[in-house]
Amino acid sequence: MADITQESANKMFGGWQKVFSHDSKELKCKMKFGVYIPPQAESGPVPIVYWLSGLTCTEQNFVTKAGAQQYAAKHGFLVVAPDTSPRGCNIEGEEDGWDFGTGAGFYVDATEEKWKLNYRMCSYVTKELPQIIAANFKVDSDKSAIMGHSMGGHGALICALKNPGQYKSVSAFAPICNPINCPWGVKAFTGYLGESNKEAWKEYDACELIKKYNGPPLEILVDQGKADNFLTQGQLLPDNLVSACAASGVPVVMRMQEDYDHSYFFMATFMEDHFNHHAKFLN
């Protein structure tokens, strides 16, 4: 394999859960990503599902907690789970908080001077990483889907909406639906994109992108726990996403799940439904 180094490998559901590292050209640092390789990959190219994790996470959270590998093996999907930000860039302030900087790349391409060299997670996820996957694994790059949780749910939505046709399907767990109107998003966008450039903020907001989406049909699936503390704190704003989709004619299924919180216990419960959703478009 060129340009990537295998860090670990574990046999699982007939396939392999592996972790790789590589030197990222976009982020100018060493990055890790998890890859579940299904048993079907032994006989030919398979579809790809990208998973984007939330604040404070690394590639390990999804790999070890989501329980997704069994569904990936059933459907024959290669599942790619990258880290959530650059690491070890020695930028002043990148370790100061859990919701900005390290572990909190927010899937934007930063434009502020301090961050713009390294914090280019949007281009990393949508450009560099797919090239690496295509070069090193038996995949059908024309059959890709994307999903994520919280900050990563935001990332999945904007990556799909900003790149019409690149992903056949998209889904999210408790996504940050309208970041220009929530505290997490305002903090991140102010830091990465600049306080005065509010128009640029809209380019990374799913509710704003839906207003002008003009690509192949996308059917969005979202699960949101009703007992999610961040829902009551106004960080996630799922109603805004539903309203934006209704106004623009973009199909969305928003499932509000009684008693479920923001954790991987919630996600593991409904993970099979999301893989079945993607299978409708990938198989």
277 flagged as catalytic: no
Question: What region does 158 belong to: left with phi over 0, alpha with psi -120 to 50, or beta?
Answer: alpha
Q: What is the pLDDT of residue 2?
A: 58
**Rounded (to 5) percent helix, strand, coil in the chain:** 35, 25, 35
Low-confidence ranges of the chain (pLDDT < 70): 1-2
Percent of the chain with pLDDT over 70: 99
| Single-letter amino acid code for the residue at 169 | S
**Residue 199: exposure state from Cβ atoms within 10 A (0-12, 13-18, ≥19):** exposed
Q: Which of 228, 274, 277, 278 does the annotation list as catalytic?
A: 228
Closest Cα to residue 52, out of 132, 158, 143?
Answer: 158
83 flagged as catalytic: no
262 flagged as catalytic: yes
Q: What is the pLDDT of residue 45?
A: 98
Q: Which of 53, 85, 150, 169 does the annotation list as catalytic?
A: 150
Per the confidence metrics, is the pTM higher than 0.85?
yes
